[in-house]
Amino acid sequence: MLAVIAVEREYGDAADVLAIDVEAAARDAYERRRADELEYQAGLGAFADSESA
């Protein structure tokens, strides 16, 4: 799941990703984690950009 999120972070909408899971609630869990991770990574990126300026 984290690899999928990393690809989406790196390539944005250009990423074409397929993830398969046997758990019925996996998609909901992925969506929650994706939102959290992308927000966290965006915050880290903004911090790194401000430190290098």
d(CA 15, CA 40) in angstroms, rounded, equals 19
* Domain count within the chain: 1
According to the model, what pLDDT value does residue 44 have? 67
For 51, the enclosing helix (H) or strand (E) is helix 26-52
pLDDT digits (tens, 9 = 90+) for 4-44: 778 888 888 888 877 777 787 888 888 888 788 777 776 76
According to the model, what pLDDT value does residue 53 have? 64
The answer to whether 1 touches 30, Cβ cutoff 8 Å, is yes
Determine the structural domain holding residue 18 and report its residue range. 2-52
Give the residue among 40, 37, 3 at the shortest CA–CA distance from 20.
Answer: 3
